[in-house]
Structure 1
Amino acid sequence: MALSVNTNLSALSGQYQLDKTQQAKKQILAQLASGSQLNSAADNAANLAISQQLQAQINGNNQALNNTSDGISMVQTADSALSQLQDNTQQIQTLAIQAGDGALNSSNRQALQQQVDQLTQSNSQIVQSAQFNGTPLLSGGNATTFQVGANGTASDQLTVPGINLSSAPAAGGLNGYNANLGATNTIDVTTQANALAAQQNTQADLGTIGSQRSTLGAISNSFNSVINNLQTSNISNQAANSRISDTDFAAATAQLASQQILGQAGTLTQAQANIAPQAALSLLG
């Protein structure tokens, strides 16, 4: 190898290797500081694209979980209102059966009627006022659809059927409902004959309420199933994303130690390479 002063190939080679070592240390330090081994597309473009897709799925699932929780809250609110209607209607039925007792006089039945009126007025008020975030739950009959998935397909939606207990009994409403919250004799028990008809009407109302509660129970189970699926999916996606993007601190710290040693060795080697051209001076002496 020729001995030259203008071009120090050993020093240039040392500079190149030392620069590579410094870049490697910089990358490892970034991984350790951020906890991610994908801090730029240059780190691993393919893995970064996969990681972004997985993170988008995770974010979408998390929002779908929130939406599903809203759906469960809505169903629970509606079921709570139906439960109170059911209790009140059962009391009305008991009073109607009592009013059918031939030993009672008209005054007795009028006292029972007052109790029935209070219960029907309470039921009517519940039907009109039950709502969730401004959406009527027991009147209007409008269905509510929830986005419970992150893939933008029809299967990612779950619909809560509308309930309209304020409609006519033949259309699914309650015999014990009256739009006038102060109405009396909506369910009439003032005579034995009326008491018998009242028993039949309240029995029909109990059937209507029970059917609605069964429907809501099935919908609630569907929401809970969606939550389980979303949580399972998130666990899988997060595990996959972690393998791709998270920093392995044990491996990274070992690599950092190795690069630090190489950096120190490179610095010492560079110093020796810079001294080598001085040998040319000995020839001039």
Structure 2
Amino acid sequence: MVLAIATNSSALMASAAASSVNKDMETSMERLATGKRINSAADDAAGVAIASRLDAEIRGTNQAIRNAQDAQGLIDTAEGAHKEVENILQRMREVAVQAANDTNSADDRTSLQAEMTQLTEEIDRIAATTTWAGISLLNGGSSAGSVNSVADTAQTFNFQIATNTAGSGDTMSISIKDIGALSLGIDGTSTTPTFAAESVDTDNTTTDLTISTSGNTITIGGTATGGDGVVSLTIDGNAVSVDFSAGSFTADAAGQSAALTQAIEDAGISGVTVTDNGDGTVDVTRSGSVSVASNSAAQTAIGNIDAAITELNEQRASLGAYSNRLDSTVSNLTNISANLEGGKGRIEDADFAAESTNLAKSQILQQASTAMLAQANASKQGVLSLLQG
């Protein structure tokens, strides 16, 4: 046997074992302290990538759940407004039925018409002011606080209810129609339109057009030359612009009628009739869709209100169906999120039973390796006896 002290193989082996055991013990302590099996990419390179992808899906799914719940809140807000409008329509129908009875005097009909007018204005107010987080819901996409001037317009809302890029299964689209009195076909409580904001564009000094209204009659007079002359006014709050700038124009009933008719059509004003009087004037009348001024008018109003109730309830049913669908969407997304969390946990969560066992093992081995290192160092003391004389 060779006795040497320059190289203590036993001590080196014991030291290496102690270092290895100490690293294993630190790993176990880190996992027990954090609760994670993977605390760095070195712990499991593939597992880190998989866990990261799962984390993206989980966080996206959880946000999709919130999106769906917000969408449901928006839809339920809109449906609640529909319910109130439906209540108003039922009252309007009740008033129309009452007005259809010839036991009413002229004063009675005036009072009934006053209520009918206020009810239609309240429908317009609800359509203009029903919002979700500042987004107008029931005015067909018009600017906040106004009711769309074109009947049957709709606003489309897109909801992101999945975690991927837009696709047939990742988004839900819903269109909510304007429910103002105009769109429902119940905007007319009188046969005389309201005119306002009469003006003439006189940029060209040779333009000499005039516009005036009286009752339901519009008169455009004068002469437009030099390619200039735009006449503007509002009919029942809807802007109408008549452009005579294409060439010379001299006040003429037929020309006025054709130009006004086209302009009114372009403005999307429903229930309005333009009549050429043949004397340089044009009459603009409307149907009076919910007028109760007479027995026959009240009968017409009943039919128009029935049609409005049918249209409103069709959209209410659609909104209710979407709201119920979103219940299933939220339930499914919640189930997906829970399963993804479970999958991610199996990859990166620490097994406390295994890690606590590994820690105990490492602690015992550390103590043993330390003791063996001490023994290895002491074993070389025998060399000194050879040097004693």
**Highest relative contact order (Cα 8 Å, sep 6+), 1 or 2?**
1
Determine which of 197, 220, 226 is the counterpart of 2:323.
220
Correspondence for 1:122: 122
1:5 Cα shift? 0.5
Cα distance change on mapping 1:56 and 1:2 into 2, 3 Å: farther
1:230-252 residue CA offsets vs partner (Å, 9 max, x unmatched) = 11101111111111111222222
Q: Deviations over 1:10-69 (max 9, x none)?
A: 111111111111111111111111111110011111122111111111001011111111
1:10–1:108 distance in 2 versus 1, CA, 3 Å = same
Which amino acid in structure 1 is aligned with residue 359 of structure 2? L
- Give the secondary-structure state (helix, strand or coil) at the position aligned to 1:158: strand
Residues in 1 aligned to 2:80 and 2:166: alpha-carbon distance in whole angstroms? 31
After TM superposition, the structure 1 = structure 2 runs for residues 189-228 of structure 1, keeping only pairs within 5 Å, are 189-228=292-331
Instruction: Tell me which residue corresponds to 1:92.
Output: 92
Match of 1:233 in 2: 336
Contact 1:123 1:177 in 2 (8 A): no
Cα deviation, residue 153, structure 1: 4.0
Give distance in 2, aligned partners of 1:166 and 1:243.
55
Q: Work out whether residues 123 and 176 of structure 1, in 8 Å CA contact, stay in contact via their aligned partners in 2.
A: no
Contact 1:18 1:266 in 2 (8 A): yes
Q: Which has the higher strand share?
A: 2
Q: How far is the alpha carbon of 1:191 from its aligned partner?
A: 1.0
Cα distance in 1, alignment partners of residues 56 and 187 from structure 2: 48
**Cross-structure match for 2:6:** 6
d(CA) in 2 for partners of 1:132, 1:186: 31
Distance in 1, Cα, partners of 2:386 & 2:44:
52
Q: Which moved more, 1:248-257 or 1:234-243?
A: 248-257
**Any conservation in 2 of the 1:120–1:186 contact (CA below 8 Å)?**
no
The amino acid that maps onto 1:235 is: A
Q: Does 1:149 align with 2:188?
A: no
Q: How does 1:103-182 map to 2 (within 5 A)?
A: 103-140=103-140, 141-154=154-167, 155-166=169-180, 173-177=183-187
Aligned twin of 1:25? 25
In structure 2, the gaps of 5 or more residues are 141-153, 189-235, 238-287
Could you tell me whether the CA contact under 8 Å between 1:142 and 1:162 is conserved in 2?
yes
Aligned with 1:159: secondary structure? strand
Q: Distance in 2 between matches of 1:2 and 1:188?
A: 123
What SS does the aligned partner of 2:172 have? strand
Listed one character per residue, the Cα deviations across residues 70-103 of structure 1 (whole Å, up to 9, x for unaligned) are 1111101110111110000011001101111122
Q: How far apart are the structure 2 equivalents of 1:9 and 1:53?
A: 48
Q: Displacement, 1:135?
A: 2.1
- Look up the SS of the partner of 1:21 in the other structure: helix
Q: Output one character per residue of 1:88-125: Cα deviation in whole Å (capped at 9) or x when no partner.
A: 00110011011111222111222222221221111010
Aligned twin of 2:225 = none
CA distance in 1, matches of 2:111, 2:23: 92
Shift of 1:219: 1.5
Match of 1:265 among 363, 368, 374: 368
Instruction: Indicate how the Cα distance of structure 1 residues 18 and 84 shifts in structure 2: closer, same or farther if over 3 A, else same.
Output: same
Any conservation in 2 of the 1:58–1:238 contact (CA below 8 Å)?
yes
Q: Deviations over 1:253-281 (max 9, x none)?
A: 22211111111111111111111222222
Compute the TM-score of the two structures, normalised by the length of structure 2.
0.68
Q: Which runs of 4+ in 1 moved over 6 A?
A: none
CA contact (8 A) 2:123 2:180 kept: no
Q: Is contact 2:120-2:181 (8 Å) kept?
A: no
| 8 A contact 1:97–1:196 mirrored in 2 | yes
Contact 1:174 1:208 in 2 (8 A): yes
* More moved, 41-50 vs 77-86: 41-50
Task: Show the counterpart of 2:63.
Answer: 63
Aligned residues: 277
Mark the CA change 1:177 to 1:4 in structure 2 (over 3 Å): closer, same or farther: farther
**Displacement of 1:2:** 3.2
What letter matches 2:156 in structure 1? A
Higher Cα radius of gyration: 2
